[in-house]
Chain A
Amino acid sequence: METIKITIDNKQVEVEKGTTILDAARKMGIDIPTLCHMRLDDLNIENKPGGCRICVVEVHGRRNLSPACITKCDDGAVIRTHTPRVMNARRTVMEFILSDHPKDCLICPKSGTCELQDMANRLGIREIPGQEIAEMSTYRKDTSPSIIRDLDKCIMCRRCEMMCNEVQTVGALSAFNRGFMAAVAPAFEQNLEYSPCTYCGQCVAVCPTGALTEVDHTREVLRAIVDPAKTVVVQTAPAVRAALGEEFGMKPGTLVTGKLVSALRELGFDYVFDTDFAADLTIMEEGTEFLTRLKKFLNGDKNANIPILTSCCPGWVNFFEHNYPDLKDVPSTAKSPQQMFGAIAKTYFADQIKVNRKDMVVVSIMPCLAKKYESQRPEFAVDGNPDVDFSISTRELAHFIRQANIDFANLPDSDFDRPLGESTGAGVIFGNTGGVIEAAVRTAYELYTGKKLSRLEFNELRGMEGVRQATIDFDGFPLSIGIAHGLGNARKLLDEVKAGRSKFHAIEVMACPGGCIGGGGQPLHHGDSSVLKARAMAIYEEDRNKPIRLSHENQYVIQLYKEFLGEPNSEKAHHLLHTHYFDRKAKIIVKQ
């Protein structure tokens, strides 16, 4: 490693050649302010268009100020990060950005978590010279089932564009126009609904301002809770319990399962259940489907559709419907846990408590924005009544709890209701990349070999690498597994499957980096990837603490099959718990 010596703010330091001024300064504990720049270390994700110019510093011998995020250190460089000239320039840049930004912070959904607001505060901006005569660039607002785009608030950091194109390879968003009227939008400034958007929400997760936010359903949920005629049932996804605490000042990675349950009861939900129950159910259905396909495959059936692809992630489902419609028979037909839960709640459970499905409202708390769209898919409704009525994100729930002046941090722990609140450690790890396939392996192994597993934790399936592979010994049979998180990584595995070159028997895909813990509906990580790692650790901790860690040992799942469904993949199970996929690829039709 070749190193160079530089001086920043009168302190000498040795850094690797090629290091940017920003990185060198951060290593020394000097916090140069940045706005457009963002990096998620372990995920190889970096946005540094050098566009906002907030990070400018003075480099001795250079006439102009240099943006620290894209300027590499020269050997012997003398850099100063807070001279009056630098401070003045940052201030002016900020004033220009704010002159074309709405000032409705009071009612902005990003208020309190907005990086632009924080920066204005940090730089001490108290007035914007010339604001009275400054023109504003304005755009049409776009509301999709999951995401709201309010481009008046776009500051052209281009993080969303980077996420959508480079990380996710979705290609829904691109910068358009130039200069003052430039912003980021789908082709022809169409609504997101008419773009290949998967609603993964990663653009929302990285947007520094209120330009990209989720559709808020908390008012509808409150209305349902208030309505005495409605029985309101809530389910909460595994990744929520590992992140919600952050919204209340707790350390990333703090598990708040018990407080979460208490808070949901305090909010007035009639039954507090766990999506993890449905995750266990997913393993029963998907695992059985997989073993059926695998047996066919091993008997030489070329149409066995191996590798099987997981289907719990709605962003991922949208992605292959748009990009790989010719492979739409390859993913498991199992619905996602959210939808399985809704289908069971509004049949089996509604019957148990003698409530008509029309009088039951199912709410899901999800780390995800694509879940909002998924819950609105017409195939997941019976006579227009959806299996899941409202899906709200972890962030929306945090807002909801604050509105209700619940002292979250000091809530006592309590446990989920039964029957749909019982879950195993296998259901919990669905929240992490690699978790679904690990849960499936635990159950499939025991069902396939008829033997007990000697170990439950498969470290070879864990980690943060974008594409991973592992071979698991199924009692002599080497089961080959592929894992991808982030849709760009998924594309790599999909291309192999499409070309018939895939060597895997099963592939897990999660649309978001890190899996659901890094979902588009989670508390904002603000570019700190250690937050994601801490959440992942918390999920594995929850798994370790569970008395039962195998989906097929969930007593209430067993009971559900006995009393209602029959057996996994039965006709009834197929009717309620499985789905099919659609071809949504853009088509060119020849005009006659």
Chain B
Amino acid sequence: MSSIKIELRQEDLDKIHEICDSFDNEPLELINVLHRTQEHFGYLPAEVQEAIAAKLNISTAQVYGVVTFYSFFTMTPKGKHPISICMGTACYVRGAEKVLDEFKKELAIQVGQTTADGKFSLSSLRCVGACGLAPVVLVGEKTYGRVAPDDVKAILKEYE
């Protein structure tokens, strides 16, 4: 049984404490705390979860349980250019899955992962409200409509 030691930068620790304090360190506000923290850091690495657990006086296992339950929370940093493929009904029937497969192949990562160089990450979402453009792909803030698997290489090239 070894005691756990985690390392964080002072400014990151301060930020976590500030967020927890803003919710009165109330354990029932855990989900809100996690939202705000992920907003700030972009993701929720283990050290950050440990620090939140310590501040809210709850177990780290519990924090981890919540983080892994909700698909919005992520423990891997998003890429510089996060790619989201819409898998809503309209996009799906118009071949979004094939587009997704092509991204997976080109980037050699799975959904929820980030490329080793930190450049791209891949996620799927349900409907961006642009069904007329199906299938839709988002890269960062930019939207691509009527994407075919053949377009994937060209899209990625824009970000090289």
**Which residues of chain A have a CB within 8 Å of any CB of chain B?**
145, 165, 170-178, 185-188, 193-197, 199, 318, 322, 373, 583-591
Contact = CB atoms under 8 A, between A and B. Distances in A.
A196 B64 contact: no
A176 B69 contact: yes
Given A194-B2, A583-B3, A588 B50 contact: yes
Contacts of A197: 1
B46 interface: yes
B125 interface: no
B65 A176 contact: yes
Given A174-B64, A187-B59, A590 B10 contact: yes
16 contacts: A145-B1, A170-B59, A171-B59, A171-B61, A174-B59, A174-B62, A175-B65, A176-B61, A176-B68, A177-B68, A187-B46, A188-B46, A188-B49, A197-B1, A588-B13, A588-B54
A174 B2 contact: no
A257 B25 CA distance: 53
Contacts of A145: 1
- What 4 pairs between A and B have smallest CB-CB spacing? A171-B59, A174-B61, A174-B65, A187-B60
Given A171-B59, A171-B62, A588 B3 contact: no
Contact of B50 (A173, A322, A373, A586): A586
Contacts of A589: 5-8
Q: How large is the interface on B (under 10, 10 to 19, 20 to 34, 35 or more residues)?
A: 20 to 34
Nearest to B64: A187
Interface string B73-112: 0000000000000000000000000000000000000000
B5 A173 contact: no
B58 interface: yes
B110 to A, nearest CB: 14
Of A174, A197, A591, most B-chain CB atoms within 10 Å: A174
B59 A172 contact: yes
A173 B61 contact: yes
Contacts of A176: 61, 64-65, 68-69
A175 B64 CA distance: 9
A187 B58 CA distance: 12
A588 B2 contact: no
B4 interface: yes
Do most interface residues of chain B lie in helix, strand or loop, or is the interface mixed?
helix
A172 B64 CA distance: 11
Contacts of B50: 187, 586, 588
Given A165-B59, A178-B69, A590-B13, 14 more contacts: A170-B59, A171-B58, A171-B62, A175-B65, A176-B65, A176-B69, A187-B46, A188-B64, A196-B59, A199-B1, A322-B3, A588-B8, A590-B10, A591-B9
A187 B3 contact: no
A177 B4 contact: no
B54 A586 contact: yes
A255 B61 CA distance: 40
Given A176-B69, A195-B61, A584 B1 contact: yes
Given A585-B3, A588-B54, A178 B68 contact: yes
Contact of A587 (B6, B59, B63, B68): B6
A174 B7 CA distance: 23
A85 to B, nearest CB: 32
A176 B66 CA distance: 7
Interface in B1-51: 1-10, 13, 46, 49-51
Nearest to A172: B61
Nearest to B51: A588
Contacts of B63: 187
B70 to A, nearest CB: 8
A242 B1 CA distance: 31
A587 B65 CA distance: 21
Contacts of A186: 61
Contact of A187 (B9, B13, B49): B49
A165 B54 contact: no
Contacts of B49: 187-188
Contacts of B4: 194, 586-587
Contacts of B62: 165, 171, 174
A373 B1 CA distance: 9
Nearest to A144: B1
Given A187-B63, A196-B59, A586-B54, A591 B3 contact: no
Nearest to B47: A588
